[in-house]
A and B are shown apart, each in its own frame.
Chain A
Amino acid sequence: MTTTAELLPKTTLQNLPEFLVRLRETSQKIFDSKGFPGNKSEEYKYLSLDTAALRLSLDGLPKLQPTPKNLSKSLISFNAYIVVVVNGVLDIENSKLPISESGVWVDSLKNTLHTKPEFAKEIGHLADISDGFVAKNTAEFTDGWVLKIDKNVKVSKPIYLVNLCTGDASFFQNTRNLIHVGNNAEVDIYKHTLSLDLNSEIFQNGVTEVYVGENSTATFSQIQEGGENLNSVNYFVANQAANSVLTHNIFTLSGKVVRNNTQLVLAGKGAEGNMNGVFIPSSGETFDNHTLADHRVAHCNSNELYKGVALGKGSGVFNGKIFVRKDAQKTNAYQSNKNILLSDDANIYTKPQLEIYADDVKCSHGSTTGQLDEKAMFYMQARGIGQDAARKLLVKAFSGEAVNMVKNEAVREFLEAAIDRKLNND
């Protein structure tokens, strides 16, 4: 990839489906009238979004950046297809795309509008534009990646999306992504957000829409290591057809302000949706997780496990909503959020929400926030284990419950090491 001196003009998207053209206009109107949700909005009240970061905006996209040479050192090394995205732009040269595997398609959104116009019509139907960030994204997105797995295809390797932020420019970016998993298909996807030589503050406003076909199995695991200059709102919404299984895992390890909106819509009978997460904010970091398990039809299951560990002056939020609609009889919905505060200045707000309109359902939720187990700490010390090492073992054990939900062993090991590093730096 070459560096160009010019800014890319903002309105470069052509060949948008008619539906999307109108949706963008509507979204623009919504955003113009409501703006970004602030602390006064119920949904965003714990998110002290730095207003300066929100005002970040260039007249266009940042200059294209070359992919840093030392990138591979920061990546998880495992046998996977690799999709490298630099500041929101697909870098084909540095990617290892599944070109030779039939039924697996990865490309930039911009190209897809031209090459697969039928597929592009799926954009915009799931994300909720009443949310200011989604409205902004829908009105202004410039590019993103799309991934399509044809029906009956079991993808032979994991797909590893590298979302790299780099460079000297400050910018606000709307990226739009689309995943379509066909009926009976199987795929294991990882998205790794990281920054290298990112010298100014940026804001990524990402929306990912996902269709999960009947009887398919998909996992989507996010590793977030954006570093001190990345603010991000990361909206993920999936629509699950009958008997599909989707597991969404998200590990927020660094970033300035990170908001994760994860919404699973159980739209077909027998669907199972799982959401797991670990978030470890330290001083100067706010990690805010909002989840929704939306049970629309009968006989679906949802399971949720979020673990928070706050260090220093870090602050975290978990807000999990289980929504069981009138027709969603025989629903099983479970949610658990456990948090540990490793310092007196750290805090984690937790708010489970149950809205249940069906009568024959099994729902449970639980949340706890506390310190590390003093007795276990002393027991370890009495065996010669120093406080730092003891803390690491306990945090590893605590977060392990969610880390172990990740399918790939190399990724699990990477996460364990990354969590250790995070505690080292505290």
Chain B
Amino acid sequence: MISIKNLSARIESKEILKGFSLEVKPGEIHAIMGPNGTGKSTLASVLAGREEYEVTGGEVTFNGKNLLELSPEDRAREGVFLAFQYPIEIPGVSNVNFLKTAMAEIYKYRGLEPLSAKDFLAYFKEKQAIVEMGNDLTKRSVNEGFSGGEKKRNEIFQMAMLNPKLAILDETDSGLDIDALRIVANGVNKVRNSENAFIVITHYQRLLDYIIPDFVHVMYDGRIVKSGGKELALELEEKGYDWIKQEVAEEA
């Protein structure tokens, strides 16, 4: 699905990604964990196409296409979805209109007829139920005045609507209480199938109780320094990151 090889990127002459590599196949869930400031959000932004970041090396192939050459909107149309760590508020643009436009643009790109108003509405309702988003929220402007948890739920709602091939969730669990966490995880599990894949960036092992990863990677200083199965997450939860930092220091 996606193959990231030796990816390096910087912002304002500060090198943040330093030879990041990761291979993700359809049907897989990869968790990326790591200390703050290690470059996890930078990775997500670079994959989504934020222009502020300058890619200085490496390559990213997404379903056979050079992802780095595509505009952000074309990446989304190809099936990449980023659930933002800090979702943006867009006053005056309703959630419905926002998603209607997004789907129309994606369908156009793929050469498909847009959904009829009726079909769109039915589809919208179906996905709304998955994340328990009431009309009170969806009728409002995108994320405007939403609580932190509501914003995260809205990200998952958008993901369910756009049905991506690869979803990157950037700390979608941060700031969620246990009920909201369950709703978000449930949303992911409902969307998940053998054809799509997830990269789940998180600080906490607890999300991984609900979304069971196939692989857990530890990211430190701009690259993956350790990979393992879901038991690695438990180990990190218990021991923190200091032993990883030590290992890296010893190798150097």
Contacts from A to B (Cβ < 8 Å): 373, 375-376, 378-387, 389, 393-394, 396-398, 400-401
User: Is A379 in contact with B90, judged by CB distance below 8 angstroms?
Assistant: yes
| Interfacial chain B residues near A382, Cβ < 8 Å | 48-49, 72-73, 75-76, 81-82, 84
For A397, the chain B residues whose CB sits under 8 A away are: 90-93, 141
Q: Which A-B residue pairs are the 8 nearest by beta carbons?
A: A397-B92, A384-B76, A381-B72, A379-B88, A383-B102, A384-B106, A381-B73, A397-B93
**B189 on interface, CB distance cutoff 8 Å:** no
Chain A: which residue is nearest B164 at the CB level? A384
B90 touches A383 (CB 8 A): no
Check B77–A384 contact: CB distance below 8 A.
Answer: yes
Query: Are B162 and A384 in contact, with the CB atoms below 8 A?
Result: yes
Interface size class of B (residues with CB under 8 A): 20 to 34
Say how far B141's CB is from chain A's closest CB, in angstroms: 8
**Is B105 engaged at the interface, CB distance under 8 Å to the other chain?**
yes
A404 and chain B: residue at smallest CB distance: B92
List, in ascending order, chain A residues with CB within 8 A of B103's CB.
384
B148 lies within 8 A of chain A by Cβ:
no
Distance between A154 CB and nearest chain B CB, rounded to angstroms? 32
CA distance A376 to B143 in the complex (A): 11
Residue of B at shortest CB range from A395? B92
Contacts of B82 in A (CB 8 A): 382
Measured between alpha carbons, how far is A380 from B95 in the docked complex, in Å? 11
Residues of A within 8 A of B142 (CB): 379
How far is it, in angstroms, between the C-alpha of A131 and the C-alpha of B216 when the chains are bound? Answer: 75
Are B87 and A379 within 8 A (Cβ)?
yes
Q: Which residue of A lies closest to B91 (CB)?
A: A397
Asked if A385 contacts B102 (CB within 8 A), the reply is yes
A393 to chain B, nearest CB (A): 5
Other A-B pairs, 20, CB within 8 Å; known A382-B76, A400-B92:
A375-B88, A376-B89, A379-B84, A379-B90, A380-B90, A380-B101, A381-B71, A381-B73, A382-B49, A383-B158, A384-B73, A384-B76, A384-B77, A384-B106, A384-B109, A387-B73, A393-B90, A393-B101, A397-B90, A397-B92
- The A-contacting residues of B in range 11-39, CB under 8 angstroms, are none
Complex CA–CA separation, A247 to B75 (angstroms):
46
Minimum CB distance partner of B107 in chain A: A384
Which B38-71 residues have a C-beta within 8 angstroms of A? Answer: 48-50, 71
Residues of B within 8 A of A386 (CB): 73, 105
A396 to B98, CA, bound (A): 12
Distance between Cα atoms of A320 and B210 in the complex (Å): 57
Given A384-B105, A384-B106, A389-B105 in contact, is the A396-B73 Cβ separation under 8 Å?
Answer: no
For chain B residues 129-144, which have a beta carbon within 8 Å of chain A? 141-142
User: How far, in whole Å, are A394 and B89 apart by their CA atoms in the complex?
Assistant: 12
Cα distance, A384 to B165, chains bound together (Å): 13
Q: Which residues of B contact A383 (CB under 8 A)?
A: 76, 98-99, 102, 158, 162
A residues in contact with B102, CB < 8 Å:
380, 383-385
Contacts of B77 in A (CB 8 A): 384
